[in-house]
Chain A
């Protein structure tokens, strides 16, 4: 089974800061990596798919990169409404199995 790790587990940053979260897979997953934002008490929201593609309607300050085993998620200028937990998620095609990372909680300093 593929395992996903994320770092850091939490971070505090100031409004306007650049925030970077990393996600690592235990084996090569090509570009099969998605990123979600979850605000307290709400369902997750898809932000980035296939490592670097911005979901429709998502602000351009969010971006993703990487392939293979190492991936990066970036908020170019942190906004107050970005306070949330961010999850990476990988997917296999056969069998169709999905694995989430443990999450990164982002707060305002």
Chain B
């Protein structure tokens, strides 16, 4: 079964850091670009970051540029995002999502992990 499972969410104070992980299974992880997409409580979806299949291409949304770092370990079938200098507005459910290129569609999603930034 094709599956993505996120972990690492939790409560963190403003200015703090958190690292999220996403474990992939059921497909050739090294063959796909991967993304983080977030959704604040009761609000819409926001794309956060993309990493190419071999990590050579990385993009960020302006809202997280300079604070978040996406990475992957193809040997471990895992995707990560290191989130630093967290703000209240970073509170959201964070999903990892596989992108099916070249169509640019997120065809596989994880169940999400909640990040709450609060003092």
Q: Are B105 and A34 neighbours in the complex by a CB distance under 8 Å?
A: yes
Binary interface profile of A, 83-109, with partner B (CB < 8 Å = 1, else 0)? 000010101110111111111000000
Other-chain contact of A49, B44, B57, B105 (Cβ < 8 Å):
B105
Size category of the binding interface on chain B:
20 to 34
Measured between alpha carbons, how far is A91 from B65 in the docked complex, in Å?
18
User: Which residue of chain A lies nearest to B102 when distances are taken between CB atoms in the complex?
Assistant: A93
Given the contacts A43-B95, A43-B112, A99 and B47 also touching, CB distance less than 8 Å: yes
Size category of the binding interface on chain A:
20 to 34
B40 interface hit (Cβ, 8 Å):
no
B100: A residues at CB distance < 8 A? 49
Measured between alpha carbons, how far is A103 from B43 in the docked complex, in Å?
9
CB distance from A44 to the nearest CB of B (A): 6
A46 interface hit (Cβ, 8 Å):
yes
B26 interface hit (Cβ, 8 Å):
no
A49: B residues at CB distance < 8 A? 100, 103, 105, 107
A-B contact pairs, 17 of them (CB 8 A): A32-B104, A43-B112, A44-B45, A44-B106, A49-B100, A50-B105, A55-B107, A89-B45, A91-B103, A91-B104, A96-B50, A97-B50, A98-B99, A98-B104, A100-B45, A100-B47, A102-B44
Q: A89-B45, A91-B103, A93-B104 are in contact. List 14 more A-B contacts (CB 8 A).
A: A36-B106, A44-B45, A46-B106, A49-B105, A50-B103, A55-B105, A87-B45, A89-B47, A92-B104, A93-B102, A96-B59, A97-B61, A100-B45, A102-B44
